[in-house]
Every structure is written in structure tokens, then in C-alpha cells.
């Protein structure tokens, strides 16, 4: 991580953010089915609300990890009563079906490059590029992901670089070019820069 921080501190704006927020400590998860289900639950919800709903889902499935078989045994109306929207219920069930039939294979993801992982996961209805980027960063631990669709990253960039608008994906890529190959680390610090407002 020392090499990443030395590299990123060459960007004077990012250097200030890194000094202010200290040690890098990304909260990694395992690259498994349950982690992607968790990502779907957390889409567009506050962390606290999502955590409650995810906890209910885990409890409804009993001990052990969340599996495709467990999800498919749960009735749709039961999933809705746990607090999942109709769309998220559909997306989680679609992921379970794809995983069960072998069109999504979690064991192969670590062997794929980032673009192939995004393509592999986004074949499932409800898994977009943002969710695939989160999986790359937090589960597969890829060091050079820039989630251009993440509102938090866009807001942090707008604030840190005093932009008069939220940056477009193209503008984000241009700002982040000098962070390569450590864009994931830079992104983590940008998220942290919004925490202490």
C-alpha cells in the first residue's frame, strides 16, 4: 500500500485528502454469491436501512451463507415482507437463477480481467456497471477501478477540485489518469472525504 500512497500523493489535491483521512482501510468482502446479493440490497439505500434489510434476509435463510438455492426456496412475497422492493427481489432471484444454471460462475471471476468481470456480471438483470465496479473493488480487490457512475465519487471530485458541476465520466477519467494503477485506492479516499462533513 505504501507504493500506492506514494504514487497518489503526487496529485496535490488527493495528497491533502490522504493526509486528512489517514490509513487506507477498505472493508473487503469475499468474492461470492452472498456478496453480490448484499450489493443489490444496498443499491440506492442508506447503509443503515440496507443493513437492516440484509440482516432480515440472512435471518430468513437461517445459518450459513446465502446461496442461490436458499434464495429460490424463499417465496417472492416473503422477500417483499423482509423489506426488499419488487425490483430488488426480481434482481436477486435472477442472480440466483443465473448462478444455479452456471451462467454466472463466481469461482472464475478472479481469473478474468476487469472488463470481462463487468461483462460477466451485467448479463444479469439488475446488475449494472456500478454494482460490478463495487464487486471488483470490494470483493475481487482490484486496485485500479474508477466507479464513474458513483454519485459519491462524483460529488467528492466536484468538491475537491472546486468544479462548478458534477464531473462527467469523461472528466472523471481525465482527472484520474494520473492515479493509475491505483484508482480504487484514490476512490476510497474520495468517499472518506465526504464522511466528515
Positions marked active-site: 150
Nearest to 37 by CA among 80, 79, 93: 93
Region for 112 from its dihedrals, namely left if φ exceeds 0, alpha if ψ lies in -120 to 50, beta otherwise = beta
Cell of residue 127, nine digits: 446488475
Those residues whose C-beta lies under 8 Å from the C-beta of residue 107, and which sit 6 or more positions away, are none
What is the 3 state secondary structure string of 49-103?
HHHHHHHHHHHHHCCCCCCHHHHHHCCHHHHHHCCCCHHHHHHHHHHHHHHHHCC
d(CA 40, CA 189) in angstroms, rounded, equals 23
Amino acid at each position: 500500500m505504501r507504493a500506492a500512497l506514494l504514487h497518489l500523493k503526487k496529485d496535490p489535491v488527493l495528497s491533502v485528502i490522504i493526509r486528512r483521512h489517514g490509513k487506507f482501510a477498505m472493508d473487503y468482502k469475499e468474492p461470492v454469491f452472498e456478496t453480490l446479493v448484499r450489493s443489490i440490497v444496498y443499491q440506492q439505500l442508506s447503509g443503515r436501512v440496507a443493513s437492516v434489510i440484509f440482516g432480515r434476509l440472512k435471518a430468513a435463510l437461517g445459518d450459513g451463507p446465502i446461496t442461490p438455492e436458499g434464495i429460490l426456496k424463499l417465496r417472492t412475497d416473503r422477500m417483499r415482507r423482509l423489506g426488499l422492493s419488487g425490483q430488488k427481489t426480481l434482481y436477486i432471484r435472477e442472480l440466483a437463477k443465473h448462478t444455479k444454471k452456471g451462467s454466472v460462475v463466481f469461482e472464475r471471476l478472479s481469473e478474468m480481467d476487469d472488463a470481462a468481470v463487468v461483462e460477466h456480471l451485467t448479463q444479469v438483470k439488475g446488475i449494472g456497471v456500478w454494482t460490478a465496479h463495487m464487486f471488483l473493488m470490494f470483493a475481487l480487490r482490484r486496485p485500479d477501478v474508477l466507479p464513474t457512475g458513483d454519485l459519491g465519487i462524483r460529488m467528492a471530485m466536484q468538491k475537491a477540485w472546486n468544479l462548478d458541476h458534477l464531473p462527467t465520466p469523461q472528466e472523471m477519467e481525465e482527472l484520474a489518469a494520473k492515479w493509475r494503477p491505483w484508482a480504487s485506492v484514490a476512490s476510497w479516499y474520495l468517499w472518506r472525504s465526504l464522511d466528515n462533513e
